[in-house]
Amino acid sequence: MAIGGPSQNSDAVLVVRPPLTDEDLNELFSASWPGHRSTSFAPMLARSLVWIAASREGRLVGFVNVVGDGGLHAFILDTTVHPDERRQGLGVRLVRAAADEAKACGAQWLHVDYEPHLESFYAQCGFRPTAAGLMRL
């Protein structure tokens, strides 16, 4: 299902739960994340509550994944925008669309972990900082 139309400053189309190939996702993640190793995304998507993809002219240029606890909590993961598409509002559009979809799926709380340099980005998306704990396993 496509979400809205292109915005004034972007003709990227957002789609909820589109079929995505490993090739498309690995290409996006390799361009966006140094050191990314090709992987199969099917197991991840099978456990997802929802995901949103952004494409422009048939090319995957953005992605965000939402997982849930089966109840009130959902978690944003893997917010990714192709380097050529950054700083144009696409990431904010993706995260806000993911929030809307998570709410439609019954989530009442949406969580995200991020590095300090991304705090202003996630604030633009509507998040507020909270205290949390993290354990590396």
Burial class (CB in 10 A: 0-12, 13-18, 19+), 56: middle
pLDDT of 66-102, one tens digit each?
999 999 999 999 999 999 999 999 999 999 999 999 9
Q: Return d(Cα 91, Cα 80) in angstroms, integer.
A: 7
User: What average pLDDT score do residues 23-52 get?
Assistant: 96
Write out the CATH class of domain 2-124. Answer: alpha beta
CA dihedral 28, 29, 30, 31 (to 10 degrees): 50
Cβ(22)–Cβ(38) below 8 Å: yes
The domain segmentation of the chain, as residue ranges, is: 2-124
> Which residues, 6+ apart, have CB-to-CB distance to 79 below 8 Å?
63, 64, 91, 94, 95, 112
pTM: 0.89
pLDDT of 116-134, one tens digit each?
999 999 999 999 999 888 7
Pairing of strands 13-16, 50-56: antiparallel
